């Protein structure tokens, strides 16, 4: 049974992993901040232009439709331009959200550099390294930033104790499986033989006949 690390050691491991994640994610974080800032500025400029254009819009070309029609258009027009600005806002929002989700997925799939992992591993406890190995799974692909982020979350949520429990339970079950199985014939040998009805040990019972000995 392995010894669990102390809470202080676990916090130290979490701090080291968190610092490594921050270094790996910093370039993408800067790019995301720049893209979102540019998108906000672009959204504001276009939305302001739409609303200003609506305010300056002259509807005199509708005089042929009559004054009542022009009055109605002038009342409804501000709402129409606000709707146009709202549509533009939705376009920007969903575009930025889709790009942000794709950026997160790409960041999680980025492999962790071998040199980065080599610098991090010696500073972690054996139990925390066991969590990293558990997170990596079947190891068909390189260890990624997403794996490291999940390892940090699992360490914080007591994965070390769960791995220890799994090891103990596997040892118990493996020990049970290694014991020789019972032979049903052994059980039958242990059971006492039932005496044949009408027999005594060494003698066979002779049923008496009616009318004497039969002579």
Q: How far is CA 86 from CA 22, 51, 93, 127, in A?
A: 36, 10, 10, 53
Q: pLDDT tens for the chain, 215 residues: list them.
A: 445 568 889 999 999 999 999 999 999 999 999 999 999 999 999 999 998 887 777 666 556 666 676 666 667 777 888 999 999 999 999 999 999 999 999 999 999 999 999 999 999 999 999 999 999 988 899 999 999 999 999 999 989 999 889 988 998 998 877 666 665 565 565 555 544 454 444 555 555 555 555 44
Q: How far is CA 60 from CA 70, 75, 82, in A?
A: 8, 14, 21
Q: How far is CA 39 from CA 14, 63, 122, in A?
A: 34, 40, 42
Compute the distance between CA of residue 125 and CA of residue 11 in angstroms, rounded to an integer. 11
Residue 215 has a pLDDT of 43
Compute the distance between CA of residue 147 and CA of residue 144 in angstroms, rounded to an integer. 5
Q: Which residues contact 183 (CB under 8 A, 6 or more apart)?
A: none
Q: Centre a 10 Å sphere on the Cβ of residue 12 and count the other Cβ atoms it contains.
A: 16
81 token code pair: 């331009």
Asked if residue 86 lies in contact with residue 52, where contact means CB atoms within 8 angstroms, the answer is: no
On the 0-12 / 13-18 / 19+ scale of CB atoms within 10 A, 96 is middle
């Amino acid at each position: 049974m392995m010894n669990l690390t102390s809470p202080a050691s676990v916090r130290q491991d979490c701090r080291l992993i968190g610092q490594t994640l921050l270094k790996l994610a910093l370039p993408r974080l800067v790019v995301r901040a720049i893209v979102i800032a540019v998108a906000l500025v672009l959204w504001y400029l276009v939305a302001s232009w739409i609303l200003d254009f609506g305010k300056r819009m002259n509807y005199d070309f509708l005089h042929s439709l009559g004054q009542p029609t022009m009055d109605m258009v002038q009342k409804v027009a501000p709402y129409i331009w606000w709707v146009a600005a709202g549509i533009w806002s939705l376009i920007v929002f969903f575009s930025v959200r889709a790009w942000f989700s794709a950026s997160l997925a790409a960041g999680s799939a980025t492999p962790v550099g071998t040199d980065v992992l080599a610098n991090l591993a010696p500073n972690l406890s054996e139990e925390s390294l066991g969590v990293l190995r558990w997170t990596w799974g079947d190891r068909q692909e390189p260890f990624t930033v997403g794996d490291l982020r999940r390892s940090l979350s699992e360490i914080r949520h007591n994965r070390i104790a769960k791995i220890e429990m799994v090891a103990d339970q596997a040892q118990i079950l493996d020990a049970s499986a290694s014991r020789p199985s019972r032979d049903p014939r052994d059980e039958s040998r242990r059971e006492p033989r039932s005496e044949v009805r009408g027999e005594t040990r060494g003698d066979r019972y002779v049923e008496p006949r009616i009318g004497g000995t039969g002579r």
